[in-house]
Amino acid sequence: MLSFQNKTIVLTRSKNQISNSGSLFKEFGFNVIEFPTIEITEPDDWTEFDILIKSKKFDLIVFTSANAANFFFDRLTAIKYEFNFNETLILAVGSKTTEVCKELFSKVDIVPKDYSAKGILETLNQFYLINKNILIPQSAIAKKDLANELKKRQANVFQVTVYKNVLPNRNELKDIIELIKTTNVDAFIFTSPSTFRNFLNLMEIRNPEEFFGVKVLAAIGDTTKNEIEKFGLKNIIKPDLSTLENTAIKLSEYFNSIGEKIGKA
């Protein structure tokens, strides 16, 4: 495996996920600054979820993140509701979500090869969706693209908030913020649009093009990449498969190619 011990990256993710994620990049030889730009919490009000889960039977539940699965399960446990998963198909997006769903619900029926909304829709082409009840547990700021497309296929789609992304307390992160400001960072990794927007907020960046300059930004997924591009930033790499491991590989390949160009100069 290539070593990049002279390359420093800033990894942005939620507080409860960032340590494991940081370890992965350290295995690739990167110096990692872990910057938790998101805090994951439960909704202020579970009323909608409680009513929905007790009043409907679902043919399919779509879990697009491990957070969605964990908070879904925790709420069922809190209200002591025994959901019959034998009567419901479970779709899990990504290896981590699949792992969590198998642990919590003892099964996963569908895993799209492509982790995007497009990939989910392509996978569901083989299923008859007309008048089928589909539940999508999600974050409070989740987009409606997937739900809208499923509705076009005449499915009954129910989106329900099971967690929310909030901005962490800036004072608690002041040491990390100062470290980033005083370190020659080679790359920044953003795992969602929220991690990028919150990074700008916490770092008090008014001119992203000036701040990032020629630094490389790694975006996990098209949605994150599109959000970054809105701010005029161009030097963005994105793995073909939206996982942290593939991001680490892509970033390694990028720096390796830069090193080869310098060596030939």
Task: Say if residue 167's pLDDT is above 60.
Answer: yes
The full set of domain ranges for the chain reads: 8-39+169-264, 47-166
Average pLDDT over residues 20-48: 91
**pLDDT the model gives residue 5:** 53
Residue 262, pLDDT above cutoff 50: no
Distance CA 108, CA 93 (A): 10
* Identical topology for domains 8-39+169-264 and 47-166: yes
In angstroms, the CA 96 to CA 104 distance is: 12
Can you give the pLDDT at residue 223? 86
pLDDT tens column, 48-85: 999 999 999 999 999 999 999 999 999 999 999 999 99
- Report the alpha-carbon distance of residue 134 to residue 153 in Å, rounded: 12
Average pLDDT in the chain: 91
Average pLDDT, integer, range 166-184: 95
Q: pLDDT category, 2, cuts 50, 70, 90?
A: very low
**pLDDT of 16:** 72
Please tell me the pTM assigned to this model.
0.82
CATH of domain 8-39+169-264: 3.40.50.10090
**Region 33-62 average pLDDT:** 95
DSSP the chain: ----TT-EEEEEEETTTHHHHHHHHHHTT-EEEEEEEEEEE--S--HHHHHHHHH---SEEEE-SHHHHHHHHHHHHHTT----GGGSEEEE-SHHHHHHHHHHHS---B--SS-SHHHHHHHGGGS--TT-EEEEEEETT--SHHHHHHHHTT-EEEEEEEEEEEPPPGGGGHHHHHHHHHS---EEEESSHHHHHHHHHHTT-S-HHHHHTT-EEEESSHHHHHHHHTTT---EE--SS-SHHHHHHHHHHHHHHHHHHHHH-
Nearest to 252, CA basis, from 32, 35, 95, 25? 25
Quote the pLDDT of residue 20: 72
| pLDDT band, very low/low/confident/very high, at 265 (cuts 50, 70, 90) | very low
pLDDT of residue 18: 72
CA nearest neighbour of 107 among 99, 115, 118, 119: 99
Looking at 3.40.50.10090, 1.10.390.10, 3.40.50.150, 3.40.190.120, the CATH number of the domain 47-166 comes to: 3.40.50.10090
Query: What digits encode the pLDDT tens for the residues 195-236?
Result: 999 999 999 999 999 999 999 999 988 889 999 999 999 999
The upper half-sphere exposure of residue 245, i.e. CA atoms within 13 Å in the direction of its Cβ, equals 3
